[in-house]
Amino acid sequence: MSHFQILIIGGGTAGITVAAQLKRKDKSLSVGLIEPSETHYYQPAWTLVGAGTFDFEKTKRKEADYIPKGVEWIKDHATGFEPEKNTVLTKKSGNFTYDYLIVAPGLVMNYDLLPGLKEAMETDFVGSVYTDPQKFWKILQNFKGGNAVYTQPTTPIKCGGAPQKIMYLSEHFFRKKGIRKEANVIFATPGTVIFGVKEIAETLTKIIKSRGIYFKPFYAPVRIDGQKKEITFKYIAPDVDNLSSVTDPKLGESVTGDKEITIQYDLLHLAPPQEAPEFVKKSSLVYQEGPNKGWLEVDINTLQHLRFPNIFGLGDVVGLPTAKTGAAVRKQAPVVVGNILHLIKENKLASPIYEGYSSCPLVTGYGKMVLAEFKYNNVRDSDPLISKFVDTTKEQFSMWLLKKYGLPFMYWNLMLRGKA
């Protein structure tokens, strides 16, 4: 079959959740799903894998076990769009046409956007829970002391809190191992604050101060020298000309160019630069300019494409002013599903809208977690049920249990089955 009522690109969290919800609501729909991978990963647990407290094998399952019944799986790569003809191109299966298209292929890592990253990642001192959490766990165990630097790129990234989660876990690990005095734990970020939501930022600022972590805002990584074990940042704060007021000789920081600061590292963790997949980025469906350039262009509340009304998008690929997380997908999916079903039956959009909800389970140590929940404009947006019992802005053991056991269970058994 080469025509579907609804065609979905992507079999990750967003694509499978939407497919499952559509089929639960209407079994008669003809739905096709384009996804090349045979393995489905639960990536939120990779931070825990990187700290040695979760089994990597338990983060993967067979994709086939989660393709909803009655959905046709096209095991192939999407390669392009012809939206005027309601057509999607694939690598080897030919073209597919649709009445409605859901674009949810996630995002990709692009090492080339940070010079020296690719080579540095091949060394024994640089790693990322985004790409190989098992390798990072080895790096963590081999660390004897010196500068442990944690950073993130200037591009949008999935789960914006992950670079600091692994930093908190590492710092706790150094204490457990008895080498904390030998370690400088440095969190360098292009951001201006530790976290965008005020209530959460207050908690995290206290944690950083009490644990002696060096917080370096306005640090945008520009290149890495894996041989010399150096990372160079551009200092992007406005109106600061004298960089010596920012650098700390104790950390071996040095001013090495115009607004550039270089730090020696003994361990480096980073989120690689991230972007929309090439076939999306080069298509007519993305923002051509502005802060969301290169990401899918959708209405921020309805998730309907701004120029092609029979196209919707959700998940990491869309350009929205909120965090790219699985929790965001959980709130986006019902909006996309509701809108498409309403369009099919009533020829108009449904009433529920997406308000930008996302959440970031900020693991702050072994057995501790702060649950950051927010919506557009960094407004705190707590789950009414959880917040009745727990102050999620403070470190909680119960939230750690939720992260380690509750959320994976919910993901595999409820979310991917269209029940949550």
Q: Decide: 40 and 28 in contact? Cβ < 8 Å.
A: no
Long-range contacts: 244-252, Cβ < 8 Å, 24+? Answer: 248/214, 250/184, 251/147, 251/184, 251/186, 251/214, 252/147
Fold of 3-107+276-357+408-415: FAD/NAD(P)-binding domain (3.50.50)
Alpha-carbon distance of 397 to 313, in angstroms, equals 35
Alpha-carbon distance of 387 to 415, in angstroms, equals 21
What is the pTM assigned to this prediction? 0.96
Q: Decide: 379 and 393 in contact? Cβ < 8 Å.
A: no
Is 147 a residue of the active site?
A: no
- The CB-side HSE value for 18 (13 A sphere, CA atoms) comes to 37
Is 360 a residue of the active site?
A: yes
At residue 413, the 3 state secondary structure works out as: helix
> Each residue of 393-419: pLDDT tens digit?
999 999 999 999 999 999 999 999 999
Q: Which CATH number fits domain 110-273: 3.40.50.300, 3.40.50.970, 3.50.50.60, 3.40.190.10?
A: 3.50.50.60
Q: From the candidates 33, 159, 329, 371, give the one annotated as an active-site residue.
A: 159
The stretches in the chain having pLDDT less than 50 are none
Residue 307 burial (C-beta neighbours within 10 Å; 0-12, 13-18, 19+): exposed
Q: What are the percentages of helix, strand and coil residues in the chain, rounded to 5?
A: 35, 30, 40
Q: Tell me what pLDDT residue 216 has.
A: 97
Is there a common fold for 3-107+276-357+408-415 and 110-273? yes
Which of 384-407 are b and which e, b meaning 16 or more Cβ less than 10 Å from the residue's Cβ?
A: eebeeebebbbbbeebbebbbeeb
Which of 173-183 are b and which e, b meaning 16 or more Cβ less than 10 Å from the residue's Cβ?
A: bbeeeeebeeb
Q: Tell me what pLDDT residue 80 has.
A: 98
Q: What is the CA radius of gyration of the chain?
A: 22
Q: Tell me what pLDDT residue 138 has.
A: 98
Q: Which two tokens stand for residue 304?
A: 């309907």
Q: Which two tokens stand for residue 24?
A: 């639960």
For 369, the enclosing helix (H) or strand (E) is strand 368-375
DSSP 305: B
Q: Which of 110, 206, 191 is nearest to 151 (CA)?
A: 191
Phi first, then psi, for residue 147 (nearest 5°) are: -85, 120
Q: Decide: 98 and 88 in contact? Cβ < 8 Å.
A: yes
| Domain boundaries of the chain, sorted by first residue | 3-107+276-357+408-415, 110-273
> Each residue of 242-284: pLDDT tens digit?
898 899 999 999 999 889 999 999 999 999 999 999 999 999 9
Q: From the candidates 166, 360, 371, 399, give the one annotated as an active-site residue.
A: 360
